[in-house]
Amino acid sequence: PQQCNLAGSWKNDLGSKMYVSKVDDKGNFLGEYHTAVSSAQKPIEPSPLVGSQHLDEDGQCTFGFTVNWKFSDSTAVFVGQCFAEKGEEILQTSWLLREKVDSQSSNWKATRTGQNTFTRMC
């Protein structure tokens, strides 16, 4: 019934904000991620994201995007699905966060994972 276009402003359960500019005709998009949380030494900076989504018109499309943190040498990827019901859009996501480590002996501890739920801000 409803579409699910990722373009726009989103906020997650941690208070992080994400701004996605226009989604193109292939489903590709760019945006900016403002994380509300960080354990980096440096102050948080808005960071670029690049992603792609399916363009199904049932309001339940899947998508993925990568965030390249500007204030740290780590990278996050998110995958998720949109659920558009009764005029409300919810993004259910899972993420992997890769931390830079000094050597392969530390590889085992370099990846964190979790889940975030996003709702549209406007």
Residues that bind ligand B9F (CB under 6 A): 12, 14, 16, 35, 37-40, 69, 72, 74, 76, 95, 97, 99, 112, 114, 116
Minimum CB distance to ligand B9F smaller for 83 or for 95: 95
Residue 5 tokens read as: 């276009």
Residue 97: CB minimum distance to ligand B9F, A: 5
Residue 26: CB minimum distance to ligand B9F, A: 26
Minimum CB distance to ligand B9F smaller for 24 or for 45: 45
> CA 113, 119, 44 angle in degrees (round to 5)?
55
Residue 8 tokens read as: 């726009």
Residue 2: CB minimum distance to ligand B9F, A: 25
Residue 56: CB minimum distance to ligand B9F, A: 25
Residue 30 tokens read as: 């760019």
Residue nearest to ligand B9F (CB): 16
Minimum CB distance to ligand B9F smaller for 2 or for 116: 116
Q: Where are the beta strands (DSSP E) in the chain?
A: 8-12, 17-20, 28-34, 47-53, 62-68, 75-85, 88-98, 111-120
CA distance 10 to 43: 22
